[in-house]
Amino acid sequence: MNGSLLPAHRRTLRLLADVIVPRTATMPSAGDLGLADTPVDQVLAARPDLVGPLALLLDKLAGEAPGLAVPRLAAADPAGFHILMQAIAGAYYMHGTVWRLLDYAGQEASPPPDDGGLAVAALAVRMAASPKRFRRIPDEEPRTPAQSAPIPSSASDR
């Protein structure tokens, strides 16, 4: 797959997307926004790992009645349903029209209060006291904290 969907994929995606995101009294449907075109391309540009699995999924669902295919997919293939939902929901909520209708201005900086650094210090104390959290890197054996590289304690240790 070259990083984009084929016209047949887009046709299938259009039909499925309108089942998942129908028009309401206050919000447009996926089809109203043309999600299967530029908006889904923006999602796939941000998540190129979805292109191949989404295309395969759309090939499997082509020709099925969309109203039946979506609930069947959700029940029979949760991972496939998740891929479809990421593409459709991502495209929908990235669309400028949806932002305007939701009165969402996007992410905004929220600087800490100007209280002489007390809030920042309190946050640092809470973070230091919280339990340690580690993420396992896929395809890697679990390591204990003792097996991890030591963290330098000062600039001279680096």
Is the residue at 108 inside a domain?
Answer: no
Is the residue at 23 inside a domain?
Answer: yes
- Give tens-digit pLDDT for 128-150: 888 877 666 666 665 565 555 55
- Give tens-digit pLDDT for 86-97: 999 999 999 999
Is the residue at 119 inside a domain?
Answer: no
Q: What is residue 153's predicted lDDT score, i.e. its pLDDT?
A: 59
Q: Which two tokens stand for residue 81?
A: 């349903």
Q: What is residue 108's predicted lDDT score, i.e. its pLDDT?
A: 83
Q: What is residue 122's predicted lDDT score, i.e. its pLDDT?
A: 80
Q: What is the distance between the alpha carbons of residues 68 and 15, in angstroms, rounded to a whole number?
A: 11
Q: What is residue 10's predicted lDDT score, i.e. its pLDDT?
A: 96
Write out the residue range of the structural domain in which residue 44 sits.
Answer: 7-101
Residues ≥6 apart with Cβ < 8 Å to 27: 98, 101
Domain count, the chain: 1
pLDDT bracket for residue 9 (50, 70, 90): very high
Q: What is residue 124's predicted lDDT score, i.e. its pLDDT?
A: 82
Is the residue at 126 inside a domain?
Answer: no
- Give tens-digit pLDDT for 27-78: 999 999 999 999 999 999 999 999 999 999 999 999 999 999 999 999 999 9
- Give tens-digit pLDDT for 116-130: 667 777 888 888 888
Distance of CA 153 to the CA centre of its chain: 36
